[in-house]
Chain A
Amino acid sequence: MKNIIDLIALNVTLGGNEILRNLSLQIPHGQWCSVIGPSGCGKSTLLRAIAGLIPCQFDGMVTEFEAPAFVFQDPTLMPWRSVRENVQLPLELSGAGRTNDLRTASTVVLEAIDQVGLNIEDLEKYPRQLSGGMRMRVSMARALVTQPDVLFMDEPFAALDELLRQQLNQLIHEICSKHDLTTLFVTHNVSEAVYLSDRILIMNHHGAIVSDLEISLSNQREPGIRGSAEYISLVHQVTQRLQEAM
């Protein structure tokens, strides 16, 4: 399958500190790739470097995506904008919100809102009127509204309780599968990574990838799989690899 991201010898130095060193990575189209590792190992930096948000040096970097989207750890909503206006922001920035595509933009916003499980009544609410989980859904809707081909997610569910986290895991996975999205996902939660991923990358303190694991669970995304011996064994195996990296 064609690689949508192809990195050769990526180096990132921020504030004089070498965060990522000589990192090479290929991610095929449609793959859900999770990145785990100890705090400060450069997981988020890797995502930002590939998304073009921070300067980096490389021997080769081919990114075949045209419409990237990012879901941050915090919902990062504009508190002065309603849910509708927040979700619509990427369209406005691309010009769709202020041309005669307004009707189309409105439809796309409604579709995105619907996909993440928000109601139409929530459209005119402001972020302060929403719960943490709802804010994260708005953030997801904003990412989806441009119909992206790559989705970067930087610990988006870290601040949520376990039940809500599992619900949103299920939801985002269904959306990504439906739209055949390539996903690069950073998390600290091994169980979440195993549940969602086709592939898990483990990074060490030196900003290097030390394990590259293919995950091939049967019926992987059925919620019931979390109790299966196969899943538990896999979580245990990845946890061990992670501990070795620390």
Chain B
Amino acid sequence: MRGSISQILMPLFFLLLVLSLWQIADSLFDIERLILPSPLEIIQESWKKIDILIAATMVTGKAALSGFAISICLGVTLALLFSTSRLAKQCIYPYMILLQTVPIVAIAPLVIIWFGGGLGSVVVIVTVISVFPIVTNVTTGLTTVDPGLTELMQLYQASRIDVLFKLKLPNAIPYLLTGARISAGLTIVGAVVGEYMAGHFIDNRGLGYYIFMGTQNFQVEVLYASILLSTLLGIAIVGFTAVLGKTILSRWAYTLHQS
């Protein structure tokens, strides 16, 4: 108990220390506001725009979660295709891996050209960046089944549907959750990059747009606040996915322990 309290208190104490030193340094050395505004200035300026910033956080969160949901559906579908068709896997899977290495900022302009500069493009960018960990992990989960269990299904002449629903899909759940945990962090990256590039076409503007405008208009306080909020949003999505995964995975603990 004491350990878990100190695990929370110590980083908070360190954060408080850094913020205090930052504030003191700003007062002592009179640092240019454009280079580094003080924590108090950031809080004051952000507070004035709190409604806009909260609305922007909601927009970014919505884009991230929509892309995340599509990634899970698309990723599982592709993984099912790859696990059942060797031909499909041989033809497409290498390109999936290859596409994963292309930087998202290089792909984003193409997506905006194809899908227009709106929320749709942002969701597509989120999907593109977050689908790969799900495809690769779920494909592994569907194909690396305990050979003994496969033989058991064979012995009892299980249908392909039974093999899929009673063996392969449950076996892939821990892998899906691992992939989802990795993807969850990437969704915010995708959403902010998408909004940074296409956000000004949208009526409801997200944090990426305010990061872009904060830089363009030298509103550094807004820039800092947007960075902080997008980080907190990322932590919330990753945290929620991790807790959900841990709850579901309690059934799979033996398998994970063994592996």
Q: Is A1 an interface residue (CB 8 A)?
A: no
Picked from B156, B158, B166, B251, the residue with its CB within 8 Å of the CB of A79 is B251
Distance A68 CA – B154 CA, assembled complex (angstroms): 11
With contact pairs A79-B252, A92-B166 given, residues A53 and B257 touching in the complex (Cβ less than 8 Å): no
Stretch from B56-64, B133-141, B144-152 forming part of the interface with A: B144-152
Interchain CB contact under 8 A, B251 and A126? yes
Instruction: Give chain A nearest CB distance to B251 CB in angstroms.
Output: 5
Check if B254 is an interface residue, CB within 8 A of chain A: yes
B-chain residues with CB within 8 Å of residue A17 when the two chains form the complex:
none
Would you call B157 and A93 a contact (CB within 8 A)? Answer: yes
With A79-B252, A126-B251, A127-B254 already in contact, the answer to whether A93 and B153 are too (CB < 8 A) is yes
B149→A51 contact, CB < 8 A? no
Taking chain B's interface residues, is the majority helix, strand, or loop, or is none over half, making it mixed?
helix
Q: Which residues of B contact A52 (CB under 8 A)?
A: 154-155
Decide yes or no whether B116 CB sits under 8 A from chain A: no
Asked if residues B155 and A51 are in contact (CB atoms below 8 Å), the reply is yes
Interface residues of A in 169-183 (CB under 8 A from B): none
Contact-residue bracket for chain A:
20 to 34
Chain B interface residue count, CB cutoff 8 Å, equals 22
**Other-chain contact of B158, A70, A72, A93, A126 (Cβ < 8 Å):** A93
The verdict on B170 contacting chain A, using a C-beta distance below 8 Å, is yes
Contact with B along A48-80 (1 / 0, CB 8 A): 100111000000000000001110101010111
A79 vs B173: C-alpha distance in the bound complex, in angstroms? 12
* Bitwise interface map of B from 224 to 259 toward A, beta carbon under 8 Å scored 1, else 0: 000000000000000000000000000111110100
B112 interfacial by beta-carbon distance below 8 Å: no
B255 to chain A: closest residue by CB: A79
Q: Which of B152, B157, B162, B170 gathers most chain A CB within 10 Å?
A: B152
Q: A76-B146, A93-B162, A127-B254 are in contact. Are A53 and B154 (CB under 8 A)?
A: yes
Chain A residues, Cβ within 8 Å of B255: 79-80
A19 to chain B, nearest CB (A): 16
Please give, as numbers and ranges, the residues of chain B lying within 8 Å of A79 by CB-CB distance. 251-255
- What residues on B are CB-neighbors of A51 within 8 Å? 155
Give the A-binding residues of B (Cβ under 8 A): 146, 148-149, 151-158, 162, 166-167, 170, 173, 251-255, 257
What is A's interface to B at a CB cutoff of 8 Å? 48, 51-53, 68-70, 72, 74, 76, 78-81, 89-90, 92-94, 126-128, 146
Give 14 A-B pairs besides A81-B170, A93-B157 with Cβ atoms closer than 8 angstroms: A48-B151, A51-B155, A52-B154, A68-B155, A69-B155, A70-B151, A70-B152, A76-B148, A76-B149, A80-B173, A89-B166, A93-B153, A94-B156, A128-B254
18 contacts between A and B (CB under 8 A): A52-B154, A52-B155, A53-B151, A53-B154, A70-B155, A72-B148, A76-B149, A76-B152, A78-B149, A78-B167, A78-B170, A79-B251, A79-B254, A80-B173, A89-B166, A90-B156, A93-B156, A93-B162
